[in-house]
Amino acid sequence: MANKQVNAVIIGAGAGGGIVAKELATAGLLVVLLERGKWQTYNDHDNDELISQRTSALKCPFGPDNEKYRRVVPDGKGGWRIVLPNDWAYGNNAGCVGGGTLSYGAMAWRFMPEDFAMKTTYGTVEGSTLVDWPLSYDDLEPFYEKAEYEIGVSGDHTLNPFAPPQNKHYPMPPFPYNREGKMLEPAARKLGLHPFPIPMLRNSVFYNGRPPCIHMRTCIGYACPVNAKAGSQNTVIPVALKTGNCQVKSECKVSEIIVDEKGRARGINYFDQQDNPKTQAADLVVVCASATETARLLLNSKSVLFPDGAGNNNGWVGHNLQDHAYCGAVGLFEEEVYDDAGPGACIAVNDFNHHNAEIVGGGLLANEFIRQPYLFSGIRPPGNARWGKEHKDFQREYFKKHISVVGPIQEMPVFENQVAIDPSVRDYWGIPVLRVSGFRHPKDFEGCNFLASKAEQWLKETGAHTTWKVIPGQRAGAGQHQAGTCRMGNDPKTSVTNRYGQLHEIDNLFIADGSLHVTNGGFNPALTIMALSYWVSDFIKKEWKGTRFK
Amino acid sequence: MKAYTRRDFVRISAACTGSLLLVPGCRSKRGRWFFFTDEEALQMGAIVECLIPTDDFPGAKEADVINFMDKQLVGYYRRHQNTYRVGLTRFNESCMQRYGKNFNELDEEKKNIFLKLLEENKLDGESWKEFSSAEFFNLVLDHTMQGFYGSPRHGGNKDYISYRMLQLDYPLIIGRNKY
């Protein structure tokens, strides 16, 4: 039986899609929310380091699964090799209802005004497609606030002198520091820095019918046993379902967007839970599948007017792939610093996010989430043996006596860093898969060296007897912070959507996820993806006229 | 026809159940392993014991890291079967070529020297043609760490050996104890 035509079909139930579903359903639109993964809860998995979304040595517990998904990356010898979702090079984002927000670290950063105006602030950067966003911080401010209240953020922006202007306080008080935080705080002050508790999408008190955090060791990479961590699956999606206007279809894999000969989106084709091909007709389509998968879907949606993929007549879909160049330092201490209070990350500074001499942009610095034993086996000072007695002695001596301070350097967008469709490799359903390729811009490494040396300084001031820097590799990543592949802009020649996430060339096709990001800030992007989704939804609701779009 | 008494039935049942319990001790026709041959397991045991040696705390061999590898190689790590099988053959050839002995028969110092050469791709000869010795070494090293530091449910870290070594308490609070 054919599916009933709906007003909107939304692809991807992550940070973006859950919000769009809730906004449109409460506005009275009939909505279908499709998600390739399952509904999952804490009880579906153990607190197992080898099956966590963070280390995923054996598999990714929250998807995508190794049996059915593939990607292709350069093999370093001029050819290509196939990688599985639990391989670092794949660049996966969790595939389940809630997407990454079910198992993320839940930092709740607003980008700063400069992050939306990088070209105005820093000028042209050679070899980079660095431009300003087509919207400003002020445009997005009310939507940040909406995300902070509807999803739920704990923090206190008044403790951060670099925090952008914020109309309302966060709905919940900040978290106290753990032992690391208590050590790092006075040291930062001595260095003239301005430390403060990290704002978190995690309940510090009872809020929205969910209890406060119980400080699990296994927080990031896992679902929360008490639902203190706020994701779309336990906030906006239940609200959407309650309206009666929204249907969530999990384990449905969308293969293409149907675009008719007049250049309008008519709906989508997908494979249902039993892998049968199905069609869902809709008045409008909103793609929220993450920067990699959204681009893949557009590129795989070929039609008469769009032979190279939906909205890709200018050839910009999939380009400008960005992530974050994570860098920082590790410090070793005489005394124990580990107190088993999860998730670990609790203190940050924004002193280095902008206006640093000689680098473009910058990034926040924060103490790292708890390192578990297997992850820690890979943390060694340069020159230390990776195995043997030296390995074991180090592991035993320093597991509880080290602190790691890290930060995401805002990457310079590079046109050649991209996801494209591989000509031959297909996934389980026969859908062509992505090739991920590119190299980080040289400026990124200037930023990394700068920020890592600041991290090292902070650790030394805290009392570390040994410190070393950690700098990422050359290859462009597409990690959980992936962004930029369908950038928004005012010029249809050099962007994919307008400032409302609406495709320049297909007016009933929208995007609401990290692919819109023109630049990716020096911050974890979840809250910005959420704010943008409210912004895009707001535009759709205003443009929605009765029973038809426009 | 002999009439079975209740007592006979119990005795026969016990005998059957008893022998059934013995079956898991012999997992496959080849020996006690799912993937490894006994000879491969012997060499692999010697390798992992060098990677995480025994001191006042048990090392990788006693933590059953081989069991972890063996179990994963017919499960999640099925795709690495070839690297292990070919890699171990090349490993034995290289060792025989250099020392005229099997790896497990070398003294501690020679074992460590040989592994270092393996790690740094410095073994001479024609042996490593399918992939480099470092590729094999890195895979084995990574799996050794997973087997030793990962959850015991995957076959390694026997009796939570590594967690005890790191004094990482097994959390007793309900809701925090599914490690």
**Region label for B79, one of left (φ > 0), alpha (ψ between -120 and 50) or beta (otherwise):** alpha
**Alpha carbon distance A394, A398 (integer Å):** 6
Across A30-34, A44-48, A142-146, least confident range: A44-48
Put simply, the answer to whether A386 touches B179 (Cβ < 8 Å) is no
Assess if residue A353 is contained within a domain: yes
Q: Is A206 on the interface with B (CB under 8 A)?
A: no
Six-digit token string for A68 = 């059915």
The percent of residues above 90 in pLDDT, for chain A, comes to 94
Nearest to A388 among B50, B166, B167 (CB): B50
> What's the pLDDT at A546?
65
pLDDT in tens, A406-428: 999 999 999 999 999 999 999 99
Residue B100 — very low, low, confident or very high, per pLDDT cuts 50/70/90? very high
Assess if residue B21 is contained within a domain: no
Assess if residue A438 is contained within a domain: yes
Mean local confidence (pLDDT), A308-316: 97
User: Do A318 and A436 touch, CB atoms closer than 8 A?
Assistant: no
Put simply, the answer to whether A66 touches B76 (Cβ < 8 Å) is yes
Put simply, the answer to whether B72 touches A388 (Cβ < 8 Å) is no
pLDDT of A525 > 80? The answer is: yes
Nearest to B52 among A372, A376, A392 (CB): A392
Put simply, the answer to whether A57 touches B165 (Cβ < 8 Å) is no
Put simply, the answer to whether A46 touches B153 (Cβ < 8 Å) is yes
**Alpha carbon distance A521, A144 (integer Å):** 15
Assess if residue A550 is contained within a domain: no
**Alpha carbon distance B61, B51 (integer Å):** 10
Mean local confidence (pLDDT), B95-102: 95
> What's the pLDDT at B14?
47
Assess if residue B52 is contained within a domain: yes
Map A521-533 to HEC letters. Answer: CCCCCHHHHHHHH
Assess if residue B79 is contained within a domain: yes
pLDDT of A384 > 70? The answer is: yes
> What's the pLDDT at A547?
59
Domain CATH for A399: 3.50.50.60
> In angstroms, what separates the C-alpha of A217 from chain B's closest C-alpha?
8
The residue type found at A113 is P
**DSSP state for residue A439 in the 8-state scheme:** B
Map A372-407 to HEC letters. Answer: CHHHHCCCCCCCCCCCHHHHHHHHHHHCCCEEEEEE
Parent domain of A355: 6-543
Residue A545 — very low, low, confident or very high, per pLDDT cuts 50/70/90? confident
Domain count of the fold of chain A: 1
**Alpha carbon distance A537, A245 (integer Å):** 15
Mean local confidence (pLDDT), B36-49: 97
Give the CA distances from residue A209 to residues A151, A171, A201, in Å, rounded to whole numbers and listed in that order. 12, 13, 15
Assess if residue A154 is contained within a domain: yes
Handedness of CA B161, B166, B168, B169 (dihedral sign): positive
Q: Is A396 on the interface with B (CB under 8 A)?
A: yes
Cβ neighbours of B145 in A, within 8 Å: 374, 377-378
Assess if residue B177 is contained within a domain: no
Assess if residue A191 is contained within a domain: yes
pLDDT of B8 > 80? The answer is: no
pLDDT of B172 > 80? The answer is: no
Assess if residue B50 is contained within a domain: yes
Residue B168 — very low, low, confident or very high, per pLDDT cuts 50/70/90? confident
Residue B173 — very low, low, confident or very high, per pLDDT cuts 50/70/90? low
User: Do A180 and A402 touch, CB atoms closer than 8 A?
Assistant: no
> What's the pLDDT at B30?
57
- A contact test, residue of B54, B83, B162 with most A CBs within 10 A: B162
Assess if residue A171 is contained within a domain: yes
Parent domain of B40: 33-165
Across A293-297, B1-5, B138-142, least confident range: B1-5
Q: Which residue of A has its CA nearest to B156?
A: A50
> What's the pLDDT at B37?
96
Mean local confidence (pLDDT), B127-143: 94
Mean of per-residue pLDDT scores for chain A: 96
> What's the pLDDT at A477?
79
Mean local confidence (pLDDT), A434-440: 97
Cβ neighbours of B165 in A, within 8 Å: 395-396
Mean of per-residue pLDDT scores for chain B: 84
Cβ neighbours of B167 in A, within 8 Å: 400
pLDDT in tens, A442-489: 999 999 999 999 999 999 999 999 999 999 999 987 899 999 999 999
Assess if residue A57 is contained within a domain: yes
pLDDT in tens, A229-280: 999 999 999 999 999 999 999 999 999 999 999 999 999 999 999 999 999 9
Assess if residue A1 is contained within a domain: no
ipTM of the predicted structure?
Answer: 0.94
pLDDT of B93 > 50? The answer is: yes
Assess if residue B27 is contained within a domain: no
Mean local confidence (pLDDT), A507-520: 97
Residue B170 — very low, low, confident or very high, per pLDDT cuts 50/70/90? low
Mean local confidence (pLDDT), A299-310: 97
Give the CA distances from residue A270 to residues A10, A278, A321, in Å, rounded to whole numbers and listed in that order. 12, 5, 26
The percent of residues above 70 in pLDDT, for chain B, comes to 75
**CB neighbour burial string for A395-418, b if at least 16 within 10 angstroms, e if fewer:** bbebbbbbbbbbbbbbbbbbeebb
pLDDT of A82 > 80? The answer is: yes
Domain count of the fold of chain B: 1
Q: Is A81 on the interface with B (CB under 8 A)?
A: no
DSSP lists the bridge partners of residue A33 as A10, A248
